Structure 1
Amino acid sequence: MVELVARAAMPIRCSTTDTFDAFVQPERITRFWLTSTTDALSPGAQVEWEFMVPGAIEGVHVTAFDRPHHIGFTWTKSGLLVDIRLSQLQSDMTVVSVEVRGFQGDDAMDQTVNATEGFSIVLCDLKVLLESGHPANLVRDKAALIERSRAA
């Protein structure tokens, strides 16, 4: 059986350190991806993330932390493994690559597609935030769309 992997990548005109910090610092990650987090990401940390989709809460267990190049974590409810790698493309440009593994069940293909779409939106919103200083609210708008489809 072939392992399904969700992948997304984005070049961001920002330093690798600033891009990395956007994922680990609560006051920054809540500007583009989350509603709240119980703490910063750090080696071995276990935190809880509340996403912008109402009711979407997930535990996060950090499994890899190499500032400013790599963050790995497991989502505790789903068991999905998330791997975020950052590499310097130019002095002022970072490439962020995300891979998600561990999809299972009859809807594993749909889960993979949804994770690819979700991380693509997250990375686009992060790009706009770090390059302009303001989020594009792409994640917030997608969350509203998901909430609306659930209510229908």
Structure 2
Amino acid sequence: MDKTEKPIVECQMMIRKPISEVFQAFVDPKITTKFWFTKSSGILEKEKSITWEWEMYGVSDKIKVIELILNQKISIIWGNPSTTVDFEFSELSNKNTYVVIKNYGFQQTGNDLIEAIKNNTGGFTTVLDGLKAYLEFGIKLNLIGDKFPHVKQK
């Protein structure tokens, strides 16, 4: 990568559910809490700020929804330093949806940038894996809670 290129984390997964159901799983915290964070201050809406919590780790993050196009795309800003995350939804058939998560706008450099890319790639892959298990099979794998068993959980 030369100095003008900006790194992008990209993770993807086919989910065997209709696009409206997959999209709603990211918008509605009643569903999202089954595979990602444990608590949210509300549903995702354009230009709304929300707090997501991972209660088992005692951490939370504020996110701002910058774009929300029904059954197509959700864009948020989150983190410290902040980055942009796009969730893109494509209908492969009336029963299959392809989800692509892109994370970009990293401010870090050197080893800090490598660490951020590594952590975000692993994290968003875990989110997609949990989404797939929950929507397709109704299984709550507890992937996020089990990802860091050495961290004191509450």
**1:16 aligned partner, one-letter code:** I
Tell me if structure 1 keeps the 8 A contact 2:81–2:107: no
- Other-structure match for 1:131: 136
Structure 1: stretches of 5+ with no match in the other structure:
none
Aligned-pair identity in percent equals 30
1:141 partnered with 2:143: no
1:108 partnered with 2:123: no
Tell me if structure 2 keeps the 8 A contact 1:32–1:122: yes
* TM-score after normalising by structure 2: 0.89
1:73 partnered with 2:76: yes
Shift of 1:55: 2.8
Tell me if structure 2 keeps the 8 A contact 1:65–1:71: yes
Distance 1:56 1:87 in 2: 32
Give 1:1-150 correspondences, 5 Å limit.
Answer: 1=3, 2-51=5-54, 54-75=57-78, 77-106=80-109, 107-145=112-150, 147=151
> Deviating runs (4+, > 3 A) in structure 1?
none
Tell me if structure 1 keeps the 8 A contact 2:9–2:120: yes
Cα 1:141/1:7, change in 2 over 3 Å: same
- Cα RMSD, aligned residues only: 1.7
Q: Deviations over 1:77-136 (max 9, x none)?
A: 331100000001121000000000122224011101110110001000000000011222
Distance 1:123 1:18 in 2: 14
Distance 1:144 1:15 in 2: 34
Q: Deviations over 1:32-72 (max 9, x none)?
A: 10110001001111100112551321111001100111000
**1:10 aligned partner, one-letter code:** M
Distance 2:79 2:136 in 1: 32
State the number of aligned residues.
Answer: 148
Tell me if structure 1 keeps the 8 A contact 2:46–2:68: yes
